[in-house]
Structures are given as structure tokens and as C-alpha cells.
Amino acid sequence: MGQNRADRGELMGSRAASTAVGVMTTEEAVSRLFPAHVLEMIKQEDAARYPRPDKEALAAFGSDEKCRAYLEQLRWPEGVRCPRCDADKGISRLERRGQFDCNSCSYQFSVRVGTVLQDSQLPLWKWVLAVFVMAESEEGISANQLKQVLGVSYKTAWYLSHRIRFSMKNEAPEDLHAAVEYDRLVPDERVHPDTLGHLLAAQVAESEEAAHPDMVWTALQRSLSASYYHLSAKHLPAYVDEVAYRYKNRDNAFLLRDMLLRLIGAESISYTELVAGT
């Protein structure tokens, strides 16, 4: 397809490499993907007030290439397969573009193809860092915080956080959703989180269906009042799913990996779909 030989490399040893990647804990993975001082900054209690990640340091550390390789190994643990014809042999790497070329059907693709990352222009390191920030945060993170931490626009941060949250959907048990009467809880389009937390507590107290540990509800209320400033009824089930997911994974040392796996396996949701009816 016009690339010269020097631009191509046969894929070797991906199986062995991916095994190592699959068992790396969150801590091990991020320390390989990002410079230490960037992680230090992110882990500060009030990360949003610190300077944004130093793009040059991230580039010098090779973060984008490392994140790409990490995602490739998570997506194709048995070796790269063509998303179009499913061939697992005769796939060449096009180094300069971070893409692959399938000899069988001539399709050129990257790790983003067919995932929620496909239509995104954001560098992969911003995606991975956003997932890490969301994974690390005990109470969830608002789009405003994410905007500060990543140095992106509010719109981008909002979209990013919703897409990541979307990958946690269907995590809350059905009866947990049933116990939250969304329509009654949020009669208008927007409601102050404090009010919401209060209403939620009252509703849970009177609900006989709420056979869940109090901690889930406490976590939900705390999340809602700590992080989410503009909450609409439409997105509330997604927040409940997020809190349930966090609660279930509170001791998961592989949370970054698991969230990324969901992200690259999740179906795409467009910005238009997200904002419709908000």
C-alpha cells in the first residue's frame, strides 16, 4: 500500500509480552506508562489545583507509544487480529502511524478501530490518564476536575468522563436501580447534588427493596455531593452504575487494566447521543 519496507515490522513475541502486561497491577502499569512526577502530581489530594501534566516530559517518556502498546496488548492478548477479516497472520505494523496493515484484506487499522476511541482525536495517553484518574478517585471525579488534570476543554473532559463512565454501565444490580426512583428523585432536569443526596437517603430509608450494604448508599451520596455539579436525570443511572462499579472494585489492584478492557470492548456512544435530552 505504498509504504516502504523500513516502515514495516513483522509482529514478533506479542504473546509473551501481552502475558506480562495482563498481570501488571495498576501501580506497575502506570509507572511504566507515565513519568513519576506526573503521577505524583495526579495523586495529590487536590490535583486540580496543580499544574497540568508536562506534555514534553510525557512525550520524552514515550507515554503515547507506551499507552498504544499497552492497549494493543490488552486488546489482542493472543496477537493482533484484523478487525475486518479476522486474519491473525500476515499483519504488519506501520510504525510511523501507529497502525497495522492486513495482508489478507489490505485493511489498515489501529487499536482504536471499533472502540469508543475510534472517533476521538485525543492522544491515547490522555485517555489512559483519564481512566487512571477516574480509577484512583474514591468518590468519582467531575468533568471540571478532569479538565484541570488533563489540560483539555470542559466539553472534552465532560465527554471523556461520560464515555469512561458508560463503560461501567450495567454494574449496579437491577434492584438497586429499582430502588432509586429516578423520576421522583429528579423531577426537573437539574437538581443540586446536596438535595439529591438528601432525597436519595430518604428514599432508601423508606425502601424495602434496598437490601444493599449501607456503604453503597453512603458512597453514592458522598460521590454525588463531592463530584457532580451538574447532574441531570438522564445520566443519574450511569452515576449509580459508576458508584456500584467502584464499590465492587474497591480492592481491585488491576482496576486500570479492567477499566481499559471495558473501554476498548465497549460500544461507541456519540456525543450527540450523550447530550440528547439533557
Q: Is 103 in the site for Zn ion (CB under 5 A)?
A: no
Task: Report the residue from 85, 178, 215, 253 that binds Zn ion according to the rule CB under 5 A.
Answer: 85
Q: What's the rounded Cα separation, in Å, for the pair 49 and 242?
A: 24
Q: Is the dihedral of CA 166, 170, 173, 174 positive or negative?
A: positive
- Report in angstroms how near the CB of residue 65 gets to Zn ion at its nearest: 24
Q: Which residues pair with 108 in a beta bridge?
A: 101
Q: Is 107 in the site for Zn ion (CB under 5 A)?
A: yes
Q: Is 87 in the site for Zn ion (CB under 5 A)?
A: yes
Hey, what's the cell of 239? Answer: 452515576
- Report in angstroms how near the CB of residue 101 gets to Zn ion at its nearest: 9
Q: Is 178 in the site for Zn ion (CB under 5 A)?
A: no
Task: Report the residue from 82, 186, 199, 204 that binds Zn ion according to the rule CB under 5 A.
Answer: 82
Q: Is 99 in the site for Zn ion (CB under 5 A)?
A: no
Q: Is 127 in the site for Zn ion (CB under 5 A)?
A: no
- Report in angstroms how near the CB of residue 78 gets to Zn ion at its nearest: 16
- Report in angstroms how near the CB of residue 3 gets to Zn ion at its nearest: 16
- Report in angstroms how near the CB of residue 109 gets to Zn ion at its nearest: 8
Pick the stretch among 5-13, 83-91, 216-224, 257-265 that binds Zn ion (CB under 5 A): 83-91
Q: Which residues pair with 8 in a beta bridge?
A: 94
Q: Is 180 in the site for Zn ion (CB under 5 A)?
A: no
Q: How many residues bind Zn ion (CB under 5 A)?
A: 8
Q: What's the rounded Cα separation, in Å, for the pair 154 and 147?
A: 6
- Report in angstroms how near the CB of residue 218 gets to Zn ion at its nearest: 50
Task: Tell me which residue of 185, 150, 171, 192 sits closest to 239, measured CA to CA.
Answer: 171
Pick the stretch among 5-13, 74-82, 191-199, 222-230 that binds Zn ion (CB under 5 A): 74-82
> What distances in angstroms separate CA 277 from CA 76, 158, 178, 189, one per listed residue?
37, 16, 22, 9
Distance spanning both ends of the chain, measured CA to CA: 45
Q: Considering beta carbons, is residue 109 or 166 the nearer one to Zn ion?
A: 109
**Interface contacts to Zn ion, rule CB under 5 A:** 82, 84-85, 87, 102, 104-105, 107
